[in-house]
């Protein structure tokens, strides 16, 4: 996907003062952007402080992390993300790519 995130729990939601208590919070980072340049996340228009709550209708929570749900998909798959941005739910699509090699 190309995001740095925190899987939300009640404690994290409280710490970040969020209304949403489950999902993948694209947390602002002190070490650069939380959105990787040219990644599927950036191409889909995701932003720092967005909360991804569902992938293809499946909720992200302690039992279904963003990485585990994405891991069930293949490179080239299109996924529909339900995100919460500024208190509003938005549907966006992303096309998965291979992770960059280093």
Determine if the pTM surpasses 0.75: yes
Judged by DSSP in three states, 85 sits in: strand
CATH number of the domain residue 47 falls in: 2.30.42.10
Domain count, the chain: 1
Confidence of residue 101 (pLDDT cuts 50, 70, 90): low
Does 15 fall in a domain?
yes
DSSP 57: T
Q: What backbone torsions phi and psi does residue 42 show, to the nearest 5 degrees?
A: -65, -45
pLDDT digits (tens, 9 = 90+) for 38-59: 999 999 999 999 999 999 999 9
Does 16 fall in a domain?
yes
pLDDT digits (tens, 9 = 90+) for 86-97: 999 999 999 999
Three-point CA angle 36, 68, 15, nearest 5° = 65
Does 102 fall in a domain?
no
The number of C-alpha atoms within 13 Å of 7 and in the hemisphere containing its C-beta is 11
What per-residue confidence (pLDDT) applies to 100? 65
């Amino acid at each position: 996907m190309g995001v740095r995130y925190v899987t939300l729990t009640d404690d994290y939601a409280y710490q970040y003062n969020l209304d949403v208590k489950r999902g993948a919070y694209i947390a602002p980072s002190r070490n650069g952007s939380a959105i990787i340049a040219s990644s599927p996340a950036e191409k889909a228009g995701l932003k720092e402080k967005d909360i991804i709550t569902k992938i293809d209708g499946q909720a992200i929570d302690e039992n279904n992390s963003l990485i585990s749900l994405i891991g069930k998909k293949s490179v080239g798959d299109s996924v529909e993300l339900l995100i919460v941005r500024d208190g509003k739910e938005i549907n966006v699509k992303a096309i998965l790519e291979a992770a960059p090699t280093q």
